Structure formats: structure tokens, C-alpha cells
Amino acid sequence: MSDLSREELIKILAISDHPRLSGVNLEGLDLRNLNFAFADLTRANLSNTNLSGAYLRSSRMEEAILENANLTGANLKEANLKSANLHNANLTGANLTDAILFGANLDSAKIDPNAGYQR
Amino acid sequence: MAEFTRFEIFQLLNGNKPLWLGKVDLSEADLRGAILHGAVLTGANLQKAQLQGADLVGANLGGANLQDANLVGADLRKAYLRGTDLRRADLHEANLAEADLTDVNLSDSNLLDANLGAADLTNANLSNANLTGTNAPDHKILRAKSLFGTVMPDGTIHE
């Protein structure tokens, strides 16, 4: 059971330039195309979420759980995914330019070799 | 945690001015990493709250109930903790530099490796508290009103 519904989450994202969502449980939610730029998602549970097309630029996702997450076409430019769990996540077409993936678990994750993670 | 839903808590944490939450019931709330900088939590019920790594710099927690709260690594610099009930609280590696801990009840609390630099411990109850590895000078600790079974910074038990 997630902490917030998609509608509630949209209300939070709307009121803050740097949304404070550390530790939030959003498991299984439809998060397509939402704007998480500069959000604090440290240790958030985002497993089984649909984040395709989401704008996650410069977000903090240290130790976040992104197992089975659909991140196709998501913008993760400068995102901090240090020690995040991306097991079986789909990163096809995601923008990982300057993203921090130190210590992240990318086991079984799908990464498009043509994706824009070069500078 | 009777008063707020998770949505309402995230709404509060995303407001654009310091929180004013005197006397509210946030017992057992998950506030890990929360930005509570300068928040007013006077007399609040934060029993068993999860405040690991929370930013409580300059927060007013006077008279608040923080029994069994988890404050591991929390930043409590310059926080006002007069008369706060911190019995059995876990303050491992918390930063309490310049905090006002006058009349605080820290009995059975864990302050292992906490920063107590320039913290005021006058009349504090430190019975059975673990102060191992803290930087509190003895003359400050001896201002406490109770030191029964207190584990001193060097690991010895106060007699």
C-alpha cells in the first residue's frame, strides 16, 4: 500500500520547487510524465512504478528502491542514484547524462546502448 | 499517529515556511530525513517517531515527548530541548552542538558518539544514559541532576 495516491502526489509536487519526499512509499503507482525535478526521493520505494517520460532531473534517489520500475524515456540527467536498487528496471531511452550510479544495483536492468549518457 | 495522514505529513513538510506544530500528535510518524529546520514542536507528541537523519537545527522541542524516538544521526544543533522527554531515545551520532538540554530527561537514552559540544546539560536526568564517545566535558556532565548508572564518555560507569 503506497503512502500517497497519484492525485495526492501531484498536489505535493505542485507546491514545492524541491519536493521533500524522502522515505515515501509510492510502490506500484502510475507516475508517468510527472515532474520530480530536484525532488528528495532518498530511500523512497518506487518499485513497480511506471515512471516512463518522468522528469527526474537532479533528483536525489540515494538508496531508492526502483525494482521493476519502468523508466523508459525518463530524464535522469544529473540524478543521484547512489546505492539505488534498479534491479530489473527498464531504462531504455532514459537520459542518464551526468547521473551518479555509484554502488547502484543494475542487475537485469535494461539500458539502451544508444541512450544519451554520454556528455 | 492520530492526527495526520501520510499525505498531510508530506504536505506539511513541503510548505514554504517553518512548521508550527506545537502540541500536535506525531507519535510513531515516519519523519526520516525530514527538514524540520526551525520548526516549533513545543509539547508535541513524538513518541516512537522515526527521525533518523532529520534536520532539526534550531527546532523548538521544549517539553515535547520523544520517548523511544529514533534520532540516529539527526541534526539538533542549537535545538531547544528544555524539559524534553527523551527517555530511551536513540541519539547515536546525533549532533546536539549548542543545544539547550536544561531539565531534559535522557534516562536510558543512547548518545553513543553524539556531538554534545557546548550543549547545556544543567539539571538533565542522565541516569543509565550511554555517553560513550561523546565530546561532553566532565564539568558539563556533572551539572546533571542524576547520573545514576550513566556510562561516561570514556566508557566508565559513573559512581
ipTM of the complex: 0.82
DSSP character at residue A115 = S
Average pLDDT estimate for B40-67? 97
* Interface touch B10/A23, C-beta < 8 Å: no
Q: Are A67 and A51 spatial neighbours (Cβ–Cβ below 8 Å)?
A: no
Residues of chain B found within 8 Å of residue A45, distances taken between Cβ atoms: none
Q: Do B115 and B134 form a contact (C-beta atoms < 8 A)? A: yes
Chain position carrying cell 544543567: B122
A66 CB contacts (<8 Å, ≥6 apart)? A46, A47, A49, A51, A81, A84, A85, A86, A89
Class of domain A1-119: mainly beta
pTM (predicted TM-score): 0.86
Q: How confident is the model at residue B159 (pLDDT cuts 50, 70, 90)?
A: confident
Domains and CATH numbers, chain B: 1-159 (2.160.20.80)
pLDDT at A119: 44
Q: Which residue has the cell 543545544?
A: B99
Residue B15: its pLDDT value, please? 87
CB B72 within 8 A of CB B94: yes
Please tell me if residue B112 touches chain A, with a CB cutoff of 8 Å.
Answer: no
At B17, the amino acid letter reads: K
Residue B7 has pLDDT above 60, yes or no: yes
What percent of chain B lies above the pLDDT cut of 90? 90
Contact map slice: B 19-58 vs A, CB within 8 A:
30, 32-35
By residue count, chain A amounts to: 119
| pLDDT, position B119 | 96
Contact B7 A15 (CB under 8 A): no
Angle between helix A6-15 and helix B6-13 axes, rounded to 10 deg: 10
pLDDT for res B2:
59
Tens-digit pLDDT profile for residues B82-134: 999 999 999 999 999 999 999 999 999 999 999 999 999 999 999 999 999 99
Is the predicted pLDDT of residue B142 greater than 70, yes or no? yes
* Grid coordinates given for A115: 541512450
A22 vs B7: CB contact, 8 Å cut-off?
Answer: no
B7:A23 CB<8 A: no
Distance CA B84, CA B7 (A): 28
Q: Which of B6, B13, B32 sits opposite A4 (nearest CB)?
A: B6
Q: In which residue ranges of chain A is pLDDT below 50?
A: 118-119
Nearest CA in chain A to B50: A23
Q: How far apart are CA A54 and CA A86, in angstroms?
A: 16
